[in-house]
Chains A and B, each alone.
Chain A
Amino acid sequence: MNRYIIKKTLFSILTLLIVVTLVFFMLRAIPGGPFTREKPLPEATRERLEEAYGLNEPLLIQYFTYMGNLFTGDLGPSFRKPAYTVNELLATGIPQTAKIGLIAVIFIIVLGIPLGVISALKSNSAIDYGVMIIATIGITVPSFVIGSLFILLAQKVSWIPVGGLTTPITYVGPVVALAGYSLAFVSRLTRSSMLEVLRQDYIRTARAKGLSESKVIFKHALKNSLIPVITYIGPMIAALMTGSFVVERIFVINGIGKYFTESITARDYTLVIGVTLFYAVFYIIMVLLVDIAYSFIDPRIRMTK
Chain B
Amino acid sequence: MNDNILEVKNLRTSFFTHLGEVQAVRGISFELKKGGILGIVGESGSGKSVSSLSIMRLVEIPGKIVEGEILFDGVDLVKLSDKEIQEYRGREISMIFQDPMTSLNPVYTIKNQMMEVILRHMHITPEKAYEEAKLIEKEKEREKVLEAIKNGKTRKYNKKEALERAVHFLKLVGIPEPETRIKEYPHQFSGGMRQRALVAMALACEPRLIICDEPTTALDVTIQAQILDLLKKVKNELDTTIIFITHDLGVIAELCQDVIVMYGGMIMEKGSVNDIFYNPQHPYTKGLHQSIPTDVVGQKKRLVPIAGSPPDLLNPPKGCPFSPRCKYAMEICIEKAPSLYKISDTQVSACWLQDKEAPDVEGFKKSGGEK
| Interfacial residues, chain A to chain B (CB-CB below 8 A) | 200-202, 204-213, 215, 219-220, 223-224, 297-300, 303
Contact = CB atoms under 8 A, between A and B. Distances in A.
B120 A210 contact: yes
8 contacts: A200-B102, A202-B104, A208-B95, A209-B89, A209-B116, A211-B86, A219-B116, A224-B105
B304 to A, nearest CB: 35
B58 interface: yes
Contact of A208 (B58, B82, B105, B185): B58
A202 B89 contact: no
B117 interface: yes
Interface in B83-139: 83, 86-91, 94-95, 97, 99, 102-109, 116-117, 120-121
The 4 closest A-B pairs by CB, nearest first: A210-B89, A210-B90, A209-B90, A201-B102
Contact of B120 (A201, A205, A209, A298): A209
A299 B187 contact: yes
Interface residues on B, range: 20 to 34
Contacts of A213: 82
B45 to A, nearest CB: 19
A208 B89 CA distance: 5
B195 to A, nearest CB: 12
Contact of B121 (A210, A215, A223, A297): A210
A208 B90 contact: yes
Nearest to B86: A210
B90 to A, nearest CB: 4
A303 B83 CA distance: 38
B37 interface: no
A210 B58 contact: no
Contacts of A212: 83, 86
A219 B120 CA distance: 14
Among the interface residues B86, B95, B102, which one has the most CB atoms of the partner chain A within 10 A? B86
A213 B60 CA distance: 13
Contacts of B106: 202, 224, 298-300
A210 B103 contact: no
A175 B334 CA distance: 68
A297 B185 CA distance: 12
Among the interface residues A206, A209, A212, which one has the most CB atoms of the partner chain B within 10 A? A209
A200 B121 CA distance: 24
Nearest to A298: B107
A249 B239 CA distance: 75
A207 B93 CA distance: 12
B107 A210 contact: no
Contacts of B90: 208-211
Contacts of B188: 303
Among the interface residues B56, B83, B102, B107, which one has the most CB atoms of the partner chain A within 10 A? B107
Contacts of B108: 219-220
A208 B86 contact: no
Contacts of B109: 299
A69 to B, nearest CB: 47
A210 B97 CA distance: 15
A220 B58 contact: no
Nearest to B92: A210
A213 B57 CA distance: 13
Interface string B194-231: 00001001000000000000000000000000000000
Contacts of B187: 299-300, 303
B97 A209 contact: no
A174 B271 CA distance: 74
Given A204-B60, A209-B117, 19 more contacts: A200-B102, A201-B97, A202-B102, A202-B106, A206-B105, A207-B58, A208-B89, A208-B90, A208-B95, A208-B97, A209-B89, A210-B91, A210-B121, A211-B86, A213-B82, A219-B108, A299-B107, A299-B185, A303-B188
A209 B86 CA distance: 8
A223 B103 contact: no
B103 A205 contact: yes
A131 to B, nearest CB: 19
A210 B104 contact: no
Interface in B245-269: none
B104 A208 contact: no
A123 to B, nearest CB: 9
A219 B117 CA distance: 13
Contacts of B201: 205, 209
Nearest to A197: B105
B13 to A, nearest CB: 16
A6 to B, nearest CB: 25
Contacts of B99: 201
